[in-house]
Amino acid sequence: VSRAAQLCAALASGDRRVLARLLTIVEDGSEQERREVIATLHPIAPRARVIGITGAPGVGKSSVTNAIIMALRADGRRVAVIAVDPSSPFTGGALLGDRIRMQVHHADDGVFVRSMAARSRLGGLAAAAPEAALVFAAAGYDDIIVETVGVGQSEIDVAALADTTVLVMAPGMGDAVQAAKAGILEVADVLVVNKADQPGAGMLESELRTMLEVGHAALPPGDGVDGTVWVPPILRTVAVRSEGVRELVEAIGAHAEREPRPRALSSADTVDASGGTVDARELLRSRRWVLELALGVLRERLGRSERLDELAAAVVDRRVDPLSAADRLLATLRVGEHEVP
């Protein structure tokens, strides 16, 4: 029996070291071990709720996460956290702070915090985080919180993985404007104005409200499964004092339970082969997951192809144009030539 199989079998015992080792495998283990872990755990893992927490550095994401953990624990739920490490020197101090804060939960068996480097694997967060979430679900965690720092792609990745994406902002940082520019407001399901004890919280909230109204006025009427549109609620919190956090947890629950925004998928996609309906959100997530994995394999195979060197040389010599070269490179892939795992 392989090491991966042994670890998977031992996961149910609740041993935290076993869990940690499985997470290491999906994060940067060998291809062989990763495959084994995913294939073993996927059929048996219950469906866990994934909550994405995103926003600029310093707005209080970790503090909010911490307060949410406490609220969910009070409800008797088991909570896992995937804290995505930006590998940036600018936030090194904040991450150290995160670690210290998260240690409050260290003695609690119902909480598991895992840091993950954004660049630890090819494909980044998009590839590794869903697999880590699968391991946590198989280990019996009810809620998986994914905290990401930074602006841009990482938020979009989180939104694709999460059932509910929470965008945290704080007064006095120009966050609302920044978020709108980065298109982040569009993927946020719940908006949090944290540090509501600081001046400018009311101003930030009204700024956000205006932006949401403008955004929703642009939506076609009746854009929703039941004819309604989910309008992201704006909640105020003082995370360090757990103020407003019960309301936040309730808003997350309300969102996670409702039907997903249908504009993400065409209606044809919500009907499976047997004619029954499937969870559109999960379908979207699975689609992205499979595509991400397939692209990773493709990049790897094409990248080490000798044909690529020949074609690159031909492009340099102007014998082949780059688009035709790409076509020829793709033509080296033949269905059936590679073993299907």
Ligand X SMILES: Nc1nc2c(ncn2[C@@H]2O[C@H](COP(=O)(O)OP(=O)(O)O)[C@@H](O)[C@H]2O)c(=O)[nH]1
Residue 153 C-beta: closest distance to ligand X, Å: 18
DSSP-assigned letter for residue 106: T
Which of ligand X, Mg ion, none does 184 bind, CB closer than 5 to 8 A by kind?
Answer: none
Q: Where are the beta strands (DSSP E) in 100-199?
A: 111-117, 143-149, 164-169, 190-193
Site for ligand X, residues 159 to 218, rule: CB under 6 A: 194-195, 197-198
Using CA atoms, how far apart are residues 327 and 333, in angstroms rounded to an integer? Answer: 10
Residue 332: CB atoms within 10 Å: 14
Nearer to ligand X, 94 or 254 (CB): 94
Write the binding mask 82 to 121 for ligand X: x where contact by CB under 6 A, - elsewhere: ------------x--xx-----------------------
Residue of 62, 165, 194, 270 that binds Mg ion (CB under 5 A): 62
**Among 27, 33, 36, 98, which residue interacts with Mg ion (rule: CB under 5 A)?**
98
Element (H, E) at 84: strand 79-85
Minimum distance from CB of 67 to ligand X (Å)? 9
Q: Smallest distance from the beta carbon of 125 to ligand X, in angstroms?
A: 16
Of 179, 186, 150, 151, whose CA–CA distance to 165 is shortest?
Answer: 186
Q: Which amino acid is at 260?
A: P
From residue 162, alpha-carbon distances to 135, 235, 330 in Å are 15, 19, 33
Return the residue matching tokens 């040389």.
313
- Given Mg ion, ligand X, none, residue 164, with its beta carbon under 5 to 8 Å by kind, binds none
Least Å from the CB of residue 133 to Mg ion: 19
Strand, helix or coil for residue 122 = coil
Q: Choose the one of ligand X, Mg ion, none that binds residue 78, judging by a C-beta under 5 to 8 angstroms depending on kind.
A: none
Closest CB 196 distance from Mg ion, rounded Å:
18
Contact 195, 170 (CB under 8 A): yes
* Residue from 49, 61, 281, 285 binding Mg ion (CB under 5 A): 61
Mask: binding to Mg ion, 213-252, rule CB under 5 A, as x and -?
A: ----------------------------------------
Local structure of 236: helix, strand or coil: strand
H or E, element range at 313:
helix 306-316
CB of 184 to Mg ion, least distance (A): 16
Among 10, 240, 264, 312, binds ligand X (CB under 6 A): 240
Binding mask 259-298 for ligand X (x = CB under 6 A): ----------------------------------------
Between 84 and 126, name the residue whose CB sits nearer to ligand X: 84
Name the CA dihedral angle for 104, 106, 108, 113, rounded to a multiple of 10 degrees: 100
Q: Read out DSSP for 238-302?
A: BGGGTBTHHHHHHHHHHHHHSPPPGGGS-GGGGB-TTS-B--HHHHHHHHHHHHHHHHHHHHHHH
Regarding 61 and contact with ligand X (CB under 6 A), the answer is: yes
Could you list the residues that contact ligand X (CB under 6 A)? 55, 57-63, 94, 97-98, 194-195, 197-198, 238-240
Could you list the residues that contact Mg ion (CB under 5 A)? 61-62, 98
